[in-house]
Amino acid sequence: MKLAILSRNSKLYSTRRLVEAARAQGHSVRVLDPLRCYMRIGSDGFEMRYKGAPISGYAAVVPRIGASVTRYGCAVLRQFELMGSYTPNSAAAIARARDKLRCHQVLAAKGIGLPVTVFGDNPDDTGDLLAMLGKPPHVIKLVEGAQGQGVVLAEKLTGSRSVIEAFRGLYANFLVQEFIGEAKGADVRCFVVGGKVIAAMRRQAKAGEFRSNLHRGGTAEATRLTAEETDTAIRAAAVMGLGIAGVDLLRSKRGPLVLEVNSSPGLEGIEAATGVDVAGEIVAYLERRVRQAETRAERRRSPSSKARPQVARTDSTSIPKSMKKTGKPRSNRSSRA
How high is the pLDDT of residue 209? 59
How high is the pLDDT of residue 143? 80
Q: How far apart are the first and last CA of the chain?
A: 28
CA distance 2 to 60: 7
Residue 335 has pLDDT above 60, yes or no: no
Q: Residue 260: phi, psi to the nearest 5? A: -165, 150
At residue 51 the predicted structure's pLDDT band, cuts being 50, 70 and 90, is very high
- Residues of the chain with pLDDT > 70: what percent? 85
Average pLDDT of span 169-193: 92
Residue 219 has pLDDT above 90, yes or no: no
How high is the pLDDT of residue 235? 98
HEC string for the chain: CEEEEECCCCCCHHHHHHHHHHHHCCCEEEEECHHHEEEEEECCEEEEEECCEECCCCCEEEECCCHHHHHHHHHHHHHHHHCCCECCECHHHHHHHHCHHHHHHHHHHCCCCCCCEECCCCHHHHHHHHHHHCCCCEEEEECCCCCCCCEEEECCHHHHHHHHHHHHHCCCCEEEEECCHHHCCEEEEEEEECCEEEEEEEEECCCCCCCCCHHHCCEEEECECCHHHHHHHHHHHHHHCECEEEEEEEEECCEEEEEEEECCCCCHHHHHHHCCCHHHHHHHHHHHHHHHHHHHHHHHHCCHHHHCCCCCCCCCCCCCHHHHHHCCCCCCCCCEC
Average pLDDT of span 95-111: 94
HEC string for 91-123: HHHHHHHHCHHHHHHHHHHCCCCCCCEECCCCH
Neighbours of 15 (CB within 10 A): 20
At residue 212 the predicted structure's pLDDT band, cuts being 50, 70 and 90, is low
pTM for the full predicted model: 0.84
CA distance 140 to 166: 11
CA distance 231 to 106: 17
Domains of the chain and CATH, by start: 2-87 (3.40.50.20), 116-179 (3.30.1490.20), 182-337 (3.30.470.20)
Nearest to 327 by CA among 112, 105, 102: 112
CA distance 325 to 144: 33
User: 31 pairs with which residues across the strands?
Assistant: 5
CA distance 282 to 30: 16
pLDDT mean across residues, the chain = 88
Q: Of 70-74, 140-144, 149-153, 204-208, where does the model show the most confidence?
A: 70-74
Q: Please, which residues have CB within 8 angstroms of residue 298's CB and are 6 or more apart in sequence?
A: none
At residue 20 the predicted structure's pLDDT band, cuts being 50, 70 and 90, is very high
